[in-house]
Structure 1
Amino acid sequence: MSTQESVARETEGLTIPLLLRRNATDYGDLPALSSADDESAPTLTWSQLRAQVAAVSRGLADLGLRAGQRMIIMAPSRPEHFIADLAAANLAAIPCTAYSTLSSEQISYVVNHSAAPVAVLAGGAELQRWLPVLDELPNLEHIVVLDASAIPDGDDRFLSFAGLRERGEALHATEPEVFERVTDEIKPDDPLSMIYTSGTTGMPKGVVLSHRNAIHEAVAVRARHGTPMHASNIAYLPLAHIAERELSIYLPIVYAGHVHTLADPKGIVAALGKVRPDVFFGVPRVWEKMVAGLKNMLAGVPEERRNALIGANELLQQGYKLRSEGKEVPPELAERIAETDRTVLAPVRQMLGLDRLLLASSGAAALPLEVLYFIAGLGVEILEVWGLSETTGAVTANSASSFKAGTVGRPIADVEVRTGEDGELFVRGPIVFLGYLSEDGSIEPATDSDGWFATGDIGTIDEDGFVTITDRKKELIITAGGKNIAPTRIEGLLKEHPLIGQAVAIGDNRPYVTALIVLDDEIAPAWAASKGIEAADIATLAGHPEIRAEIERAVESANDRLARVEQVKRYHLLTKAWTPESGELTPTLKLKRRIISERYAPDINALYADA
């Protein structure tokens, strides 16, 4: 039986509520959901999780939430978030997690566009963003708050999550058959959830996914990697991010996994050490920071030990690169690699909490090759994937047995990818979303008559079927001389230096390429201290001659690997970090190029002052 046949057969007729019921029945005593933030919080087994989902589902129904209606959730990754999401899905309603960084204006847009009658908020921080626009939300009838102490006095639209659950528990205890009946009525092609795109340009769109989308993606990804049943992972990215939603809600339901929620992504390093997960997905920034931190730490290690670690890293990289090129690793080299890995690198992985990893992956943006190689030199081989919210996550993925460094792998089971005349990638298959939510509540398909979805990504497909992403169609730089340039390649090379946290290449309709560069607010102070440079903040460091000289060397190093037309002729070093909160990055840490261009227009214009 082919992989395609097995995936199609395994997913036929399934829905997320049916799988949740299966897990509660067949794996009821196995762990399902734990909090990595609160070690005193009890772990929910699959039977306990479903019982709580049933209670909250009945509570939401009692509030008037109905099939097809949307429910907005704004909360970090914590067990209640998962319960609320699945509770709405078990009503055939459509849960939608909104990024917590949305402004009040964006909240007003999302809630009104979705016509959501119910919202679930974490607490005071979220309420501060919602309160200014509450009177602009005519469809919003009920606001459930996880932190009861944050509920405003005298407003009967608000109720606590605990109160909702208690009300639902009583209803479920009286009529348990109601919950089971709704579970049976939901169909594979019904809407399961909605994601508002993170909005690098313009207002976000509501991407509506089906049960079939989510389950096929989960089963196909598991088939690609051979992930075992009951694998553990850490949910630390926003659940509005398609990768986290698929990897931490739907995939664990398919294989009855164990999810550890982490409300603050900044705590991921400590959480890795505690959880030691089987599966870990990191956006490129997470892997970049890990490498920068390790390289910075190496500087303080005694010379003999440092040389041993560097030598071991280079040895494992050598084997990895051979296999990436499809070549055999000579037996003698393979033996040296195995021994070095066991004696030198295994303790490093254990220290990082990566010693149990069965699958390490990365997506959402390109991972610089130097980062990929360095991590491979630790014995952790990151498998890059490519996908979008509209494709329910991964369209393509490398695997441990079939990969090419620098590519995003081959299409997963039952999925087709082709290129258009201009290099744009098109996708067809059961992971392609139902469509975008219209203001009238209907779902507008976004595929052509043959089922192809235009992704907006530019890429190539080699003779072996491996896909390489070169850039976003809307983000290509076209210089005044008519040259097409991919900014992400330039930016990736610049960010290979640990001092550089973010970089944006400029050059559209300009005579040459320039860049805005931002110091890494975590690595730069430590790097400076190791050089005897004392500075209290990034702004001071950005003006230090030694820092500026190192940035100059980083730019020269990047330029050495770029064609002349791509090289950065001038750059400007900024004095503060970019974050989603400051507005230059999306919640998924992608560059908001339009915002950056507008906000730093004087700095950019100065780079072309005498052009």
Structure 2
Amino acid sequence: MITEEDVRAAVGVLTVPALLRRNAGEYGHLPALTGADERTWTWRELCDQVLSVAGGLRALGLRRGERMLIGMSSRPEHWVADLAAVELGAIPCTTYATLSPEQIRQVAVHSAATVVVLEGAAELARWAPALAEMPALKGVVVVEDVDGGHTRYADLLAAEPAPPDAEAGQDDPVTMIYTSGTTGDPKGVVLSHHNVLYQCALQELVQPAPAHPRTVAYLPLAHIAERVLGIYLPLYTAGHVTVCPDATRLLATLTEVRPQAFFGVPRVWEKFAAGLQQLLAGDRRAAVGRARELAAEAYRIRAAGDALPGELAEALEHADREVLRPLRERIGLAEAARLGSGAAPIPAQVLEFFGSLGMTIMEVWGLSETTGAATSTFPDNYRAGTVGLPMPGMEVRLAADGEIEVRGPLVFLGYLRPDGGIQAAVDADGWLPTGDLGAFDADGPLRIIDRKKEMIITSSGKNIAPSAVESLLRAHPLIGYAVVVGDRRPYLTALLMLDAEAAPAWAAARGLAATELKELAAEPPVLDELAAAVRRANEALSRPEQVKVFRVLDHAWSPASGELTPSLKLRRRVIEQRYAGMIEELYAEGSGS
């Protein structure tokens, strides 16, 4: 059993700059980072660039403790600029590309950043009003060549390499993340070197990957998962990261890289499941069905904490080699030793589907404030529908109203104050209220009920967790997103968004000519299938939780359109305001039925 002492021993006195130097010295010839243009930097080359850019940022005036904002896509220069700021003891903060001009202004002013690094002309134009309101700003760096008199990234690269002003301490800030703001203005979450490296050591101890593992970075670097898995964990393991800046190329990138560890947000796993289910629907081979039955049985036995019978283990090994591994190759994950999901609830059916392919996905729960995963299911202790047990060293308890509170080495330093100070968010005993409601199963695993502020209370006083209902609806491959409405109402209604990739494929397989969401949303076979999906979900719900009426939207949601956060969570207030008329129509329709 892994203990907190084991993790602390693995972290030792390491810091992010110390790891970069270690990798340059001991693993300098190994690949570190591959960009979208397929150019690869070794650890030695990456370290040299980081130190040069650090020298350029120092000449620009960036100093220890100051904040540096980065408005850039996932490209190698992003990694270099981020790590260069850390070399100087400054605090880098990546902003989401989907921020509105007002959100950019909020972050820019609140952070009191002294340096801003932007990608090119488009970002410079979007940021221009905010830059004018930043009195502490010393300089703007632009990666691509544009007119305007700003510092060029190429000039930073040509600067004299800079050693750090002083050795970083493990309790010093290493980064800041602005929360995605589902219920209010974003807050600056400040994390320490120890926070992020403790998380890295945990990942490796709990479920080790091969030495110097290959991974793919596809989430925004403003997301806590990608910061840990795309920056700090590869530093810790001297791994090789391939950047996938375009999510539409994720599957192609995975099949090319064949990563040895992969973390997928639920929407990614749901899309993969929908694609594989389409594939399997046309594969009538008895061997495939039998192999999946064996894997599903093994998944259930391991979930119960039992060992596989020898006969089953032997049969499964053969079936995996001959049938299941080739299926996993279709999504590039046949060599992945560590699979995870988090950031939002994932339907249990999706986890069980992948279990039938020989894939055990560990579900984690946590926040930016807990440096990502605070709890996890484990390879020898998992159960679909739960987020497992506290990570070694972490404590979890429930407040009187069911709010989850956490304490331990992953809890962040605090929120950035406008004056540059850090305001601790824990109580006198170190407990952090998370805003999530939860419950413990009888034998210990934690279940997430919902966000405290998002609970629905119907007009009859019933408390309903909308995410539980939405998760059941999303289990159908046609449904990309579902939002349930019903606060202070007599019953629940739902808005359903078709999956932009799965819906056309589903329609084509059934001979429908329609391909656009606007057309598909009006197709009777599609509407009939969705009605059946809602009925199936309702069968698993109590009467107050059941959806009485629904509407299918003829367009997609995205962070750019405003209904989703940059981390693809629902902005319920925006949705309910934007679709207020449609929601009223649903209740008028429901009251007459």
Pair in the same fold by TM > 0.5: yes
1:539 is aligned to 2:518? yes
1:403 is aligned to 2:382? yes
User: In the alignment, is the contact (CA less than 8 A) between 1:503 and 1:517 conserved in 2?
Assistant: yes
Paired letter, 1:191? P
User: In the alignment, is the contact (CA less than 8 A) between 1:60 and 1:164 conserved in 2?
Assistant: yes
Match of 2:418 in 1: 439
1:79 is aligned to 2:61? no
Please list, as runs of the form range in 1=range in 2, the aligned pairs for 1:553-568 lying within 5 A after superposition.
553-568=532-547
Shift of 1:296: 2.0
**Any idea what SS the aligned residue of 1:357 has?**
coil
Which of the residues 328, 342, 346 maps onto 2:325? 346
Q: Aligned partners of 2:208 and 2:167: how far apart in 1?
A: 32
1:330 is aligned to 2:309? yes
Paired letter, 2:69? I
Which of the residues 219, 223, 235 maps onto 2:205? 223
User: In the alignment, is the contact (CA less than 8 A) between 2:2 and 2:206 conserved in 1?
Assistant: no
User: In the alignment, is the contact (CA less than 8 A) between 2:112 and 2:136 conserved in 1?
Assistant: yes
1:200 is aligned to 2:182? yes
Match of 2:530 in 1: 551
**Any idea what SS the aligned residue of 1:281 has?**
strand
Q: Aligned partners of 2:328 and 2:245: how far apart in 1?
A: 24
Shift of 1:132: 4.3
CA separation of 1:2 and 1:242: change in aligned 2, threshold 3 A: closer
Deviations 1:362-418 (A, max 9, x none): 000111111111111112211111110001111011221222222112111211111
1:291 is aligned to 2:273? yes
Paired letter, 2:488? N
Paired letter, 1:5? E
**Any idea what SS the aligned residue of 1:335 has?**
helix
Match of 2:577 in 1: 598
Match of 1:138 in 2: 135
Q: Aligned partners of 2:118 and 2:273: how far apart in 1?
A: 35
CA separation of 1:366 and 1:532: change in aligned 2, threshold 3 A: same
Shift of 1:493: 0.6
Which of the residues 257, 262, 271 maps onto 1:280? 262
Q: Aligned partners of 1:554 and 1:19: how far apart in 2?
A: 50
Q: Aligned partners of 1:308 and 1:139: how far apart in 2?
A: 66
Paired letter, 1:403? Y
Q: Aligned partners of 2:77 and 2:569: how far apart in 1?
A: 28
Shift of 1:339: 1.7
Q: Aligned partners of 1:478 and 1:191: how far apart in 2?
A: 40
Which of the residues 104, 109, 124 maps onto 1:107? 104
Deviations 1:291-316 (A, max 9, x none): 111122334x35x33x5434422331
Shift of 1:334: 2.5
Q: Aligned partners of 1:128 and 1:578: how far apart in 2?
A: 25
User: In the alignment, is the contact (CA less than 8 A) between 1:221 and 1:412 conserved in 2?
Assistant: no
Please list, as runs of the form range in 1=range in 2, the aligned pairs for 1:351-366 lying within 5 A after superposition.
351-366=330-345
Q: Aligned partners of 2:177 and 2:327: how far apart in 1?
A: 37
**Any idea what SS the aligned residue of 2:141 has?**
strand
Give the root-mean-square deviation of aligned CA atoms: 1.6
Match of 1:27 in 2: 27
Paired letter, 1:465? G
**Any idea what SS the aligned residue of 1:572 has?**
strand
Identical-pair percentage: 53
Q: Aligned partners of 2:276 and 2:441: how far apart in 1?
A: 34
User: In the alignment, is the contact (CA less than 8 A) between 2:266 and 2:341 conserved in 1?
Assistant: yes
Deviations 1:56-107 (A, max 9, x none): 0010000000111101111121111001000001100000000000011111
Match of 2:370 in 1: 391
User: In the alignment, is the contact (CA less than 8 A) between 1:505 and 1:513 conserved in 2?
Assistant: yes
Match of 2:250 in 1: 268
Which of the residues 507, 526, 540 maps onto 2:505? 526
Q: Aligned partners of 2:82 and 2:57: how far apart in 1?
A: 11
Q: Aligned partners of 2:344 and 2:211: how far apart in 1?
A: 28
Match of 2:14 in 1: 14
Q: Aligned partners of 1:541 and 1:462: how far apart in 2?
A: 41
User: In the alignment, is the contact (CA less than 8 A) between 2:272 and 2:331 conserved in 1?
Assistant: no
Q: Aligned partners of 1:527 and 1:308: how far apart in 2?
A: 25
Paired letter, 1:396? T
Q: Aligned partners of 1:435 and 1:227: how far apart in 2?
A: 31
Match of 1:476 in 2: 455
User: In the alignment, is the contact (CA less than 8 A) between 1:228 and 1:255 conserved in 2?
Assistant: no
Please list, as runs of the form range in 1=range in 2, the aligned pairs for 1:99-178 lying within 5 A after superposition.
99-148=96-145, 151=146, 153=147, 155-156=148-149, 158-166=150-158, 168=159, 171-172=160-161
CA separation of 1:398 and 1:536: change in aligned 2, threshold 3 A: closer
Deviations 1:485-526 (A, max 9, x none): 111111011011111110011111111111111111111111
Match of 1:321 in 2: 300
TM-score when normalising by structure 1: 0.94
Which of the residues 495, 519, 527 maps onto 2:474? 495
Q: Aligned partners of 1:553 and 1:337: how far apart in 2?
A: 34
User: In the alignment, is the contact (CA less than 8 A) between 1:3 and 1:223 conserved in 2?
Assistant: no
Shift of 1:141: 3.2
User: In the alignment, is the contact (CA less than 8 A) between 1:98 and 1:240 conserved in 2?
Assistant: yes
Structure 1 residues without counterparts, runs of 5 or longer? 173-177
User: In the alignment, is the contact (CA less than 8 A) between 2:208 and 2:338 conserved in 1?
Assistant: no
Which of the residues 231, 234, 238 maps onto 1:252? 234
Q: Aligned partners of 1:264 and 1:165: how far apart in 2?
A: 26
Match of 2:50 in 1: 53
User: In the alignment, is the contact (CA less than 8 A) between 2:440 and 2:446 conserved in 1?
Assistant: yes
Which piece of structure 1 moves more, 217-226 or 389-398? 217-226
**Any idea what SS the aligned residue of 1:352 has?**
coil
1:212 is aligned to 2:209? no
User: In the alignment, is the contact (CA less than 8 A) between 2:177 and 2:368 conserved in 1?
Assistant: yes
Shift of 1:426: 0.7
User: In the alignment, is the contact (CA less than 8 A) between 1:74 and 1:99 conserved in 2?
Assistant: yes
Q: Aligned partners of 2:69 and 2:179: how far apart in 1?
A: 14
Match of 2:495 in 1: 516
User: In the alignment, is the contact (CA less than 8 A) between 1:29 and 1:45 conserved in 2?
Assistant: yes
Shift of 1:537: 1.4
Deviations 1:227-280 (A, max 9, x none): 343112101000000011011111111111111111112211000011000110
User: In the alignment, is the contact (CA less than 8 A) between 1:505 and 1:514 conserved in 2?
Assistant: yes
User: In the alignment, is the contact (CA less than 8 A) between 1:112 and 1:139 conserved in 2?
Assistant: no
Match of 1:3 in 2: 3
Q: Aligned partners of 2:169 and 2:322: how far apart in 1?
A: 52
Q: Aligned partners of 1:64 and 1:133: how far apart in 2?
A: 20
User: In the alignment, is the contact (CA less than 8 A) between 1:539 and 1:575 conserved in 2?
Assistant: yes
Match of 1:38 in 2: 37
Deviations 1:529-562 (A, max 9, x none): 1111111411111111111111100000100111
**Any idea what SS the aligned residue of 1:144 has?**
strand
TM-score when normalising by structure 2: 0.97
**Any idea what SS the aligned residue of 1:441 has?**
coil
